[in-house]
Structure 1
Amino acid sequence: DLVNLWAGNKMNWIGPVGACLGYAFLWAFGAAAYLLPICLLWMGIAMLFFDARPKWRTWLGCGIFAVSAAALLSVQNLILQDWSDRIHIISPGGKLGYFLGARFLEALLNKTGALLVLVCIYLVSLILLTGLHPIHFCRGSYQYFIEWLRARKELKEKASKKISAREKRRIERDERLAEISGSKPAESKSPAKKKAAETKSIKEKPEEDDDPQAELPLREIPTPQIIDASQRRKPNAEIGAKPFEKKRPEHTALSTDEFENYELPGFDLLDIPEHEEPGVEADKSELVATQNIIVDTLKAFGVEVTAGNITRGPTITRYEVYPSPGLRVSRITQLEADIARATKAERINILAPVPGLDTVGIEIANNEKVAVPLHELLQDPAFSSAKKKIPLALGKDVYGNTVIGDLAAMPHLLVAGATGSGKSVCINSIISSILFKFSPNELRFIMVDPKVVEMQMYNVLPHLAVPVVTDPNKVIAALRWVVNEMERRYRMFAEEGVRNFDGFNERELPEKEVTDGDEENSEEEEENYDAEHIESIAQALTDGELGPAALDDDEGEEVIPDRIPYIVIIIDELADLMQTAPADMEMNIARIAQKARAAGIHLIIATQTPRADVVTGIIKANIPSRIAFQVSSKLDSRVILDVSGADKLVGKGDMLYLPPGSAKLERAQGAFIDDGEVEKLVKFCSTQVEQKFESSVQEHIEKGGSDEGEDDVSDADEEIVQKCLEVIRQEKKASTSLLQRRLRLGYTRAARMMDILEQRGIIGPGEGAKPREILINVGQDEA
C-alpha cells in the first residue's frame, strides 16, 4: 500500500513524504495515531520553554498511551467502524490495535474483560505521561463543585438584597412623588403581598460588610422640596418709570452747567415685551428621577445619603443630599466623574458642603437655560435701596434671588472669563446700571479699551471725563492723573475737616451773601474754573502733573467745589496693557486700589486671560471683589478666585461672584442686555447734553500718548531725581547699583531714575559693563 501510495503521487501539506508517514501511522495505530503528534508537541513545548527533558517513563507512557488507545478502538464497536472501508485499514485501531485487542485480549478475556484491562492500562499510561494521579483529579473536581455551590448561594443572597433595596427605594420614591403631586402612590402589589414583602425585608438582616459606611444609619430629614427659581418675574413697572429720581443739581468739579438739565433714563429704553414668556416649567418627575440616579450611584459605591431639596435655577439645578452620620464629604467629591456618567451630564460641580447648610450640593446644567434680563433686576427693590450707593445689577443666583452689588462697598471689581463666556455682557450691564442712577454731575467715567472693540459705543456719553482711551501709551498717563486727582481730593478733605467722599459731599456749606454783581462774577469764575479743570485732565494725561493745573498767583488759594463726583475707571482688557508697561500698570493700579475708596474713585478691571503675570499678587490683594466666568483651566480659576470652580461653569453668563467682605462664592446667572438696548440707552443720555471735548483738549491727549511728550514724573519722583543728581555730582559717576546703595532704592525704582536722567540728557545710554557717560558739568546745577 505504501508503494502504491508513493507511485500514485499522493501528498498532503508536507508532500508525498508526509502522506506516506501519515498513512503508516494510521495503518499501525488507526485513529489513535492522531494522539502521537499531540504528545510530541507537548513534550517539545516543555523542552523549549520550561527546560524540562522528558524522562524514560514519559517516553514509556507515551508509547503505552498510543498502543492502549489503539487496542481500545479495536475492541469497541461504537465509533469509527466505517474507517476500515474508508482508508483501507483492518480496524479503527490499526494493525497493532487489532492484534493486541481483538485477536489477543478479546480471545482470552472476552470483550468485557478486554475493555476493563485496556482502560486500566490507558489510565496508567496517563499517569506516566502527565505525573497526575486520579486522586488529584477527584479532589480538584470536588473543590470546584463546592466553590460552585457557594458562589450560587452568594448570588442568590445578593439578588434578594437588591430586590429588597429596590423595593424600599420604589416605596420611598412613590411616597415622595405623592407628596409633590398631592396624589397617593401607585400600588404595584396587592396589600397582602406588599405587607409580606415589608415583613420579609424587616426580618432579613444583611450580613456585615467590610465597608464601614454600610453600617451608618440614614438621617431623619424634613420632607424634600422642589424649588423652581428659573421663572421670570412679570414686569410691574409703568411705561416711562425710572428706578431713581433726579437729585438737586449742585456745583461739582468735572462738570458744566449744561448737565443740570440732565434727566435720568427710564425702563422704556429696555425691551420689555407685553406678553413675556416666563420660561419652560420644570418637570418635577424628571428632577426626582435625576436625584434618585444620584442617590443610587452613591449607594453603589458604598456611600449612604438621603435625598434633600431640589432647586432649579436659570442655568443649573442643584440637587442636595444629606450624608449619613460619620460620612466624610470628600468621599462624595471623589465620585464626581461617576455621578456625571450616571446622569449623562457634560460637567457637574459638587459643593461639599453647601455654604451655610449641612447638605452636599450636586449642580448639573439645565438642558434649557433661562436668560435673566436686566430690566427684571432693575425693577427689584434691592436695586433702588438707599443702602447701596453705586448699585450694580449682576444677575440671579440658583435660588432665584437677585444679586445686586455695591461698587462703593467693594470698592473695586475684577472680572475675568474666556471669550464667549459673558464677560462683555456683564460689563455692559454694570455700565447700564450706573447710567440708570447717576447723571454726569454725580459720576464720571474713564474707559480704557485697548482692543478698540468693546467700548466704542460709549464714546458719546456725557459721563466720560475723557474720550475712550485706546492707545496703551496713554493709559499710564490716565492712571497717573487719577492718582494725582486722588491726592488732590485728600488735600481738600483735610482742608475741609472731613474724612471721606461722603463726608465732603454731605458737609454743611456756609451761606453766602451774593449781590447781583457778585453773581455775575461768580458765574464767570465757575465757567473759567470748569474750563481750566477740564483742560487739566488732558494736560495731566500729557505730563503727569499732580491734579488739575495750578491756579495763578493772582487768584490765591485753590477753589474747592461744593460737591465732587464719583470717578469709575473701567479697563476692558488688562492683559494687553500689562504687556506694554507691566511695572507702571501694576504700581498705579495698586496705588488707586489701596487709597482711592475714600476719595470716591473706583476701579473695574476685566480680562479674558487671567494668568499669574496679568493678574499679579499685588493686584489681587487690593481687589477683593471678583467675578469669574467660564475659564479654560483650574489654574486660571485659582488665579482669579484662589480656588477651582470657574473651569466647571457652563458659559453663557454662568458666573461665580465673590462679594465684598465674604469668602463664600455665589453662583449666579449674569444679567443680559443686548447691544440694541445699550445703543438706545447711550443715545438717550448723549442727546440731552453735549460733550465738551474741544480740539485743543484732543491735541493734549494725543501728545500725552506720543513719544514727543515730556516725561511723566510726579513730585515725589522729582525729589528722588534731585537726590540722584546730588549723588552723581559727589561720586562723579552714575550707575543703578550706586543709586541703590546711596539712596536705599529698589532695583526697579533706581532703574527708572536712570531712565529719567537719560531721557533728560544728563547721562548717556548704557554700554554693557562700561560706566555711563555723564553729559553735564557735574560741578553745576541742572539748567
Structure 2
Amino acid sequence: MFKQKLLERKLKRQLIRAFKAGGVYREYQSYKDKKKVYPKIHSARVLNEGKKVEYVFTLLNGQDPKEVKKKEYAFYQVFGRTLEIKTDGIKKYTLTVYSNDLKDKINWNFDKFKDDITDHEIPIVAGFNKNNELVTFDLIENPHLLISGTTGSGKSTQLRSILMTLIAAMPPNNLELYLADMKMAEFAFFRYVKHVKQLCMNAKEAKEMLFGVMDELDRRQELIVKEEVTHVKDLKENPVPYIVIAIDEFASLHDKDAMECLLEISNRGRALGVILILSILRPDSKTLDSRLKNNLNATMGFKTRNRTNANVIGTPGAEDLKGNGHFLLDSITVEGIPELQALFLDEKKLQKLLKHYKVKPEEWNIEVNEDNEDDELDGLQGGLLEDDDE
C-alpha cells in the first residue's frame, strides 16, 4: 500500500510537470508571492500489467478546453509520443500513456477492417494506435485530407492503401476518383480502374481537370438548391456520386489558378460531395497556403524533414518520428494527435487487387447515353452505367 502511494505521487508529479510546461494552471498572487494552482488530479494508476498509465484530471473552473488542446505538445514533451488524450468536452480528461511501441509493419487486409467502416460515407482507414486499436474516420465528417512526409517515411504507401480502401468499400456508381500524379510514379497502377474517371500525369492536365471540377461544383450547387436540400447525399431526383480528388505532390502544380481551384473546392466541396486528398513532400508557408491548410480537417504527418515542416502541417513532433509508416493524425473527430502505424500495401499486392476492379482499355471512362448515343458526355457526370460483377 505504501509503495502504491509512492508510485501514485511520482506519477502525479509527472503530470504536474506537463501542466507546468504547457502553462495549464491558474496563478494567484498571495501576500508573499505568486502561487500556481493546477487542474485537479483524480487518479494516476498503472494498468494492464504495466503496459499503460492512466491519469484522470479535471480543469479548473473557467479554464478553456481549447487552450488545453493547443498545449498538448507539453504532454508529449513530458510523456513522449505514446499517449492518448480524451475529454468529455467540458472539464474532465483522461490521459493514457502507453509503454508498448507501435509495430513496424501491419499489412493491408480489407476483410479484417471492412466491418469497422460500414457507417462511413467515405471511409478512411488511418491505421493502428499504441493500444493496437484500429483508427478510422469519415472524409465527409473530416472534409479534405493532407498527407505529408519525407521520402521513405510511408506517405506514398498510405496514399496507395487509402485509395485501395475506397475502391474496395465503395461501388463505382457512388465514387468517382480524379487522380493527378506529376511524378508519374504513384497512380499509374490505377489506370483502367472503373472508379477512376481521370488520371493526370502533368500539371497542365491536372489544371484542366480542376477547371472541370469547378464546373461540376456549380452544377451540384444548382441541384441542391432545386431540390431544397443541404447536402448532395439527400438528392432524390438527381443523385450524384461522391468525387474524391487525389493529387500527389500538389505543390508541383506551380499555378496560381490551379491553387485557387483547390481553395474553392476546399471551401465548397463538403456539402457538394467533392473531397480533396492532397500530399506534399516538404511543406512550408510558400507551398502550403494557410487558407487552404485551414480547410483541411484531417492531417497525416509522417516523418518530416524538420520542426518547421511539422509545425506548418499542424503535427508538431513529426520530425522526431522514426519512419516505417509511423505518423501523427490530427483530425477533428479523433481525440488528441495520436501516433499511428499506417497499413502496408506493396505494389505487387496492389496490382493483384486492382485486377478485380479494372475494365478493358477501350471501355475505360466510356459513357453511354441511351437517349442519344451520339452525344459526348462530360466525364464528371458519371461513369459506366453497368459494371461487371467481379
Matched-pair contact (CA < 8 Å) for 1:365–1:650: no
Evaluate the alpha carbon distance shift between residue 320 and residue 691 of structure 1 in structure 2; reply closer, same or farther with a 3 A threshold.
Answer: same
1:225 to 23, 41, 47: 47
Answering whether residue 247 of structure 2 is matched by residue 571 of structure 1, we say: yes
Matched-pair contact (CA < 8 Å) for 1:333–1:350: no
Evaluate the alpha carbon distance shift between residue 375 and residue 350 of structure 1 in structure 2; reply closer, same or farther with a 3 A threshold.
Answer: closer
2:284 alignment partner in structure 1: 611
Q: CA deviation at 1:430?
A: 0.9
| SS of corresponding position for 2:118 | coil
* C-alpha distance in 2 between matches for 1:439 and 1:350: 37
Evaluate the alpha carbon distance shift between residue 362 and residue 383 of structure 1 in structure 2; reply closer, same or farther with a 3 A threshold.
Answer: closer
Matched-pair contact (CA < 8 Å) for 1:397–1:668: yes
* C-alpha distance in 1 between matches for 2:240 and 2:54: 49
2:173 alignment partner in structure 1: 441
Answering whether residue 301 of structure 2 is matched by residue 628 of structure 1, we say: yes
Matched-pair contact (CA < 8 Å) for 2:327–2:341: yes
| SS of corresponding position for 1:415 | strand
1:372 to 106, 131, 143: 106
Deviations 1:132-152 (Å, cap 9, x if unpaired)?
xxxxxxxxxxxxxxxxxxxxx
Answering whether residue 328 of structure 2 is matched by residue 656 of structure 1, we say: yes
Matched-pair contact (CA < 8 Å) for 1:377–1:395: no
Amino acid at match of 1:590: L
2:355 to 683, 690, 704: 683
Matched-pair contact (CA < 8 Å) for 2:301–2:313: yes
Query: Which is bigger in relative contact order (C-alpha 8 A, separation at least 6)?
Result: 2
* C-alpha distance in 2 between matches for 1:336 and 1:600: 39
* C-alpha distance in 2 between matches for 1:220 and 1:618: 41
Answering whether residue 116 of structure 2 is matched by residue 382 of structure 1, we say: yes
| SS of corresponding position for 2:265 | helix
Q: After superposition, where does 1:709-728 map in structure 2 within 5 Å?
A: none
2:138 alignment partner in structure 1: 406
Q: CA deviation at 1:479?
A: 0.8
Matched-pair contact (CA < 8 Å) for 2:44–2:55: no
Q: CA deviation at 1:390?
A: 1.1
Could you say what the CA RMSD is over the residues aligned between the two structures, in angstroms? 3.6
Gaps of 5+ in 2: 8-40, 58-70, 88-92, 368-377, 380-390
Q: CA deviation at 1:568?
A: 0.8
* C-alpha distance in 1 between matches for 2:3 and 2:288: 50
| SS of corresponding position for 2:183 | coil
| SS of corresponding position for 2:229 | coil
* C-alpha distance in 1 between matches for 2:325 and 2:112: 18
* C-alpha distance in 2 between matches for 1:632 and 1:616: 19
* C-alpha distance in 1 between matches for 2:335 and 2:116: 22
2:340 to 651, 664, 668: 668
2:148 alignment partner in structure 1: 416
| SS of corresponding position for 1:414 | strand
| SS of corresponding position for 1:611 | coil
Q: TM-score, normalised by structure 1?
A: 0.37
| SS of corresponding position for 1:597 | helix
Evaluate the alpha carbon distance shift between residue 678 and residue 564 of structure 1 in structure 2; reply closer, same or farther with a 3 A threshold.
Answer: same
Q: After superposition, where does 1:467-506 map in structure 2 within 5 Å?
A: 468-504=199-235
2:258 to 575, 578, 585: 585
Matched-pair contact (CA < 8 Å) for 2:175–2:241: yes
Q: CA deviation at 1:391?
A: 1.1
Q: CA deviation at 1:676?
A: 1.9
Matched-pair contact (CA < 8 Å) for 2:182–2:202: yes
Evaluate the alpha carbon distance shift between residue 443 and residue 470 of structure 1 in structure 2; reply closer, same or farther with a 3 A threshold.
Answer: same
* C-alpha distance in 2 between matches for 1:634 and 1:651: 15
Matched-pair contact (CA < 8 Å) for 2:282–2:305: no
Deviations 1:737-778 (Å, cap 9, x if unpaired)?
xxxxxxxxxxxxxxxxxxxxxxxxxxxxxxxxxxxxxxxxxx
Evaluate the alpha carbon distance shift between residue 492 and residue 675 of structure 1 in structure 2; reply closer, same or farther with a 3 A threshold.
Answer: same
Q: CA deviation at 1:169?
A: 7.0
Gaps of 5+ in 1: 1-167, 174-218, 227-283, 285-308, 312-318, 324-329, 340-347, 510-561, 695-699, 702-783
Q: TM-score, normalised by structure 2?
A: 0.71
Amino acid at match of 2:332: P
Amino acid at match of 1:446: Y
Matched-pair contact (CA < 8 Å) for 1:377–1:402: no
Amino acid at match of 1:626: T
Deviations 1:141-188 (Å, cap 9, x if unpaired)?
xxxxxxxxxxxxxxxxxxxxxxxxxxx979x99xxxxxxxxxxxxxxx
Deviations 1:356-401 (Å, cap 9, x if unpaired)?
44557476756xx35222216743532223xx11112221111222
* C-alpha distance in 1 between matches for 2:174 and 2:145: 20
1:598 to 256, 265, 271: 271
Matched-pair contact (CA < 8 Å) for 1:349–1:648: no
1:157 alignment partner in structure 2: none
**Count of equivalent residues:** 316
* C-alpha distance in 1 between matches for 2:76 and 2:203: 47
Matched-pair contact (CA < 8 Å) for 1:396–1:403: yes
**Which structure would you say has the larger Rg?**
1
Matched-pair contact (CA < 8 Å) for 1:374–1:393: no
2:37 alignment partner in structure 1: none
Matched-pair contact (CA < 8 Å) for 1:380–1:402: no
Matched-pair contact (CA < 8 Å) for 1:395–1:670: yes
2:66 alignment partner in structure 1: none
* C-alpha distance in 2 between matches for 1:393 and 1:428: 12
Deviations 1:596-647 (Å, cap 9, x if unpaired)?
1111111100111111211110111111211111112111111001x52111
Q: CA deviation at 1:410?
A: 1.4
Amino acid at match of 1:469: C
| SS of corresponding position for 1:392 | strand
* C-alpha distance in 2 between matches for 1:459 and 1:563: 26
Hey, which of these two has a bigger chunk of strand by percent? 2
Matched-pair contact (CA < 8 Å) for 1:414–1:626: yes
Matched-pair contact (CA < 8 Å) for 1:646–1:655: yes
Q: CA deviation at 1:423?
A: 0.7
Evaluate the alpha carbon distance shift between residue 628 and residue 495 of structure 1 in structure 2; reply closer, same or farther with a 3 A threshold.
Answer: same
* C-alpha distance in 2 between matches for 1:492 and 1:321: 50
Matched-pair contact (CA < 8 Å) for 2:82–2:98: yes
* C-alpha distance in 2 between matches for 1:573 and 1:335: 29
Matched-pair contact (CA < 8 Å) for 2:107–2:345: yes
Hey, which of these two has a bigger chunk of helix by percent? 1
| SS of corresponding position for 1:631 | coil
Deviations 1:478-522 (Å, cap 9, x if unpaired)?
111101110011112222333321111xx2x5xxxxxxxxxxxxx
